Amino acid sequence: MHSNKFDNLRESLGAYLDVQTTLSVLGWDQEVHMPPKGAARRGRQLATLSGIAHRMLTNPEVGKAIAELEDDDTLSHDARALLKEARYEYDRATKLPEAFVTKLAEEQSKAYEVWVQARRMNDFHLFQPNLETIVELLRQKADYYGYEDTPYDALLSDYERGMTTARLREIFSGLREKQSALVERIVASGNAPECAWMDQEWDETKLWEITMRALTEMGFDFDAGRQDKSVHPFTTNFGLKDVRVTTRFEPRDPFSALTGSLHEGGHALYEQGYLESDERTFLADAPSLGIHESQSRLWENLVGRSRPFWKRYGPVYREAFPEQLKGVSDDDLFRAINRVAPSLIRVEADECTYNLHVILRFEIEVAIIEGDLSVTEVPEAWNAKMKDLLGLEVPSDDKGCLQDIHWSHASMGYFPTYALGNLYAAHLGEKIREELTDLDAQIESGDFTPLLAWLREHIHHIGRRKLAQDIIEEATGPEATAEPFMRYLNSKYGEIYGL
Amino acid sequence: MHSNKFDNLRESLGAYLDVQTTLSVLGWDQEVHMPPKGAARRGRQLATLSGIAHRMLTNPEVGKAIAELEDDDTLSHDARALLKEARYEYDRATKLPEAFVTKLAEEQSKAYEVWVQARRMNDFHLFQPNLETIVELLRQKADYYGYEDTPYDALLSDYERGMTTARLREIFSGLREKQSALVERIVASGNAPECAWMDQEWDETKLWEITMRALTEMGFDFDAGRQDKSVHPFTTNFGLKDVRVTTRFEPRDPFSALTGSLHEGGHALYEQGYLESDERTFLADAPSLGIHESQSRLWENLVGRSRPFWKRYGPVYREAFPEQLKGVSDDDLFRAINRVAPSLIRVEADECTYNLHVILRFEIEVAIIEGDLSVTEVPEAWNAKMKDLLGLEVPSDDKGCLQDIHWSHASMGYFPTYALGNLYAAHLGEKIREELTDLDAQIESGDFTPLLAWLREHIHHIGRRKLAQDIIEEATGPEATAEPFMRYLNSKYGEIYGL
Instruction: Determine the residue among B10, B11, B16, B18 to mutate to test chain A binding: the one whose Cβ has the most chain A Cβ atoms within 10 Å.
Output: B18
Predicted pLDDT at A266: 98
Q: What residues of A are in contact with residue B223 (Cβ under 8 Å)? A: 35-37
- B276 → chain A, closest CA residue: A41
Quote the minimal CA–CA distance from A282 to chain B in Å. 15
The answer to whether the Cβ–Cβ distance between A35 and B280 falls below 8 Å is no
Show the beta-strand stretches assigned E in A381-468.
none
pLDDT tens for A405-451 read 999 999 999 999 999 999 999 999 999 999 999 999 999 999 999 99
Is pLDDT at A1 greater than 80 in this prediction? no
Is pLDDT at A115 greater than 70 in this prediction? yes
Q: Are B237 and B24 in contact (CB under 8 A)?
A: yes
pLDDT tens for B11-66 read 999 999 999 999 999 999 999 999 999 999 999 999 899 999 999 999 999 999 99
Nearest by CB to A29, from B25, B45, B48: name it. B25
Q: Are A398 and A119 in contact (CB under 8 A)?
A: yes
Is pLDDT at A3 greater than 90 in this prediction? no
Cβ-Cβ contacts under 8 Å for B213 (sequence gap 6 or more): B316
Instruction: Determine the residue among B19, B23, B31, B48 to mutate to test chain A binding: the one whose Cβ has the most chain A Cβ atoms within 10 Å.
Output: B48
Q: How many CB pairs under 8 A join A and B?
A: 114
End-to-end CA distance of chain A, in Å?
60
Q: In whole angstroms, how far apart are CA B43 and each of A375, B39, B51?
A: 44, 6, 12
Predicted pLDDT at B445: 98
The answer to whether the Cβ–Cβ distance between A34 and B242 falls below 8 Å is yes
Q: Are B345 and B403 in contact (CB under 8 A)?
A: yes
ipTM over 0.85: yes
Instruction: Determine the residue among A30, A50, A52 to mutate to test chain B binding: the one whose Cβ has the most chain B Cβ atoms within 10 Å.
Output: A52
Q: What residues of B are in contact with residue A241 (Cβ under 8 Å)? A: 35, 37-38, 40-41
Residue B245 has phi, psi (to 5 degrees) of -115, 155
What is the C-alpha to C-alpha distance for residues A30 and B284, in angstroms, rounded to an integer? 22
Q: What residues of A are in contact with residue B34 (Cβ under 8 Å)? A: 242
The answer to whether the Cβ–Cβ distance between B223 and A36 falls below 8 Å is yes
Predicted TM-score (pTM) of the model is 0.90
Q: Are B342 and B352 in contact (CB under 8 A)?
A: no
Output DSSP code: residue A410. T
Residue A160 has phi, psi (to 5 degrees) of -140, 85
The answer to whether the Cβ–Cβ distance between B238 and A41 falls below 8 Å is yes
Mean pLDDT over residues A172-192, rounded? 90
Q: Residue A79: name the closest of A331, A283, A367 by CA.
A: A283
pLDDT tens for A353-393 read 999 999 999 999 999 999 999 999 999 999 999 998 888 99
Q: In whole angstroms, how far apart are CA A188 and each of A340, A492, A495?
A: 12, 17, 15
Nearest by CB to A40, from B36, B49, B241: name it. B241
Question: Which amino acid makes up residue B153?
Answer: D
Question: Which amino acid makes up residue B74?
Answer: T
pLDDT tens for B190-224 read 999 999 999 999 999 999 999 999 999 999 999 99
Q: Are B408 and B108 in contact (CB under 8 A)?
A: yes
Quick one: how far is CA A429 from the chain centroid?
18
Residue B26 has phi, psi (to 5 degrees) of -60, -40
What is the C-alpha to C-alpha distance for residues B63 and B86, in angstroms, rounded to an integer? 9
Quote the minimal CA–CA distance from A89 to chain B in Å. 20
Residue B373 has phi, psi (to 5 degrees) of -140, 130
The catalytic residues of A are 264
Q: What residues of A are in contact with residue B42 (Cβ under 8 Å)? A: 238-239, 242
What is the C-alpha to C-alpha distance for residues B423 and B437, in angstroms, rounded to an integer? 21
Mean pLDDT over residues A172-182, rounded? 89
A412 vs A184, more confident: A412
What is the C-alpha to C-alpha distance for residues B34 and B29, in angstroms, rounded to an integer? 6
Q: What residues of B are in contact with residue A36 (Cβ under 8 Å)? A: 223
Q: Give the H or E element holding residue A236.
A: strand A235-237
Q: Residue B271: name the closest of B215, B224, B231 by CA.
A: B224
Q: How confident is the model at residue B478 (pLDDT cuts 50, 70, 90)?
A: confident
Q: How confident is the model at residue A480 (pLDDT cuts 50, 70, 90)?
A: confident
Predicted pLDDT at B2: 55
Count other Cβ atoms within 10 Å, centred on residue A190: 8
Residue B97 has phi, psi (to 5 degrees) of -65, 150
Q: Residue A202: name the closest of A211, A192, A194 by CA.
A: A211
Nearest by CB to A25, from B25, B51, B242: name it. B25
Residue B184 has phi, psi (to 5 degrees) of -60, -45
pLDDT tens for A255-278 read 999 999 999 999 999 999 999 999
Mean pLDDT over residues A61-85, rounded? 96
Nearest by CB to B45, from A21, A35, A279: name it. A21
What is the C-alpha to C-alpha distance for residues A55 and A53, in angstroms, rounded to an integer? 5
Quote the minimal CA–CA distance from A267 to chain B in Å. 18
Cβ burial of A173 (10 Å; 0-12, 13-18, 19+) is exposed
- A237 → chain B, closest CA residue: B38
Q: Give the H or E element holding residue B245.
A: strand B243-247
Mean pLDDT over residues A3-17, rounded? 95
Is pLDDT at A77 greater than 80 in this prediction? yes
Q: How many residues belong to chain B?
A: 499
Strand partners, A228: A246
Is pLDDT at B81 greater than 60 in this prediction? yes
Q: Which residues of A touch B (CB under 8 A)?
A: 14-15, 18-19, 21-22, 25-26, 29, 33-38, 40-42, 44-45, 47-49, 51-52, 221-226, 228, 238-242, 279-280
The answer to whether the Cβ–Cβ distance between B226 and A35 falls below 8 Å is yes
What is the C-alpha to C-alpha distance for residues B319 and B210, in angstroms, rounded to an integer? 11
Which residue out of B85, B107, B160, B264 is catalytically annotated?
A: B264
Is pLDDT at A68 greater than 60 in this prediction? yes
What is the C-alpha to C-alpha distance for residues B360 and B367, in angstroms, rounded to an integer? 11
Q: Residue B248: name the closest of B417, B30, B32, B33 by CA.
A: B32
Q: In whole angstroms, how far apart are CA B316 and each of A230, B328, B333, B495?
A: 32, 12, 11, 25
Task: Please spell the DSSP secondary structure of B176-195, one letter per residue.
Answer: HHHHHHHHHHHHHHT-----
Q: What is the mean pLDDT of chain B?
A: 95
Predicted pLDDT at A2: 55
Mean pLDDT over residues B416-441, rounded? 97
CA torsion, points A445, A449, A452, A456, in degrees to nearest 10?
-170
Q: What residues of A are in contact with residue B45 (Cβ under 8 Å)? A: 18, 21-22, 25, 238
Cβ-Cβ contacts under 8 Å for A25 (sequence gap 6 or more): A238, B25, B26, B29, B45
Predicted pLDDT at A85: 98
Nearest by CB to B34, from A19, A52, A242: name it. A242
Region of residue A463 (left: phi > 0; alpha: psi -120 to 50; beta: else) = left
What is the C-alpha to C-alpha distance for residues A241 and A26, in angstroms, rounded to an integer? 17
A217 vs B171, more confident: A217
Q: Going by DSSP bridges, is the β-strand pair A235-237/A225-229 parallel, antiparallel, or unpaired? A: unpaired
Q: Residue B258: name the closest of B315, B317, B200 by CA.
A: B317
Instruction: Determine the residue among A28, A48, A59, A222 to mutate to test chain B binding: the one whose Cβ has the most chain B Cβ atoms within 10 Å.
Output: A48
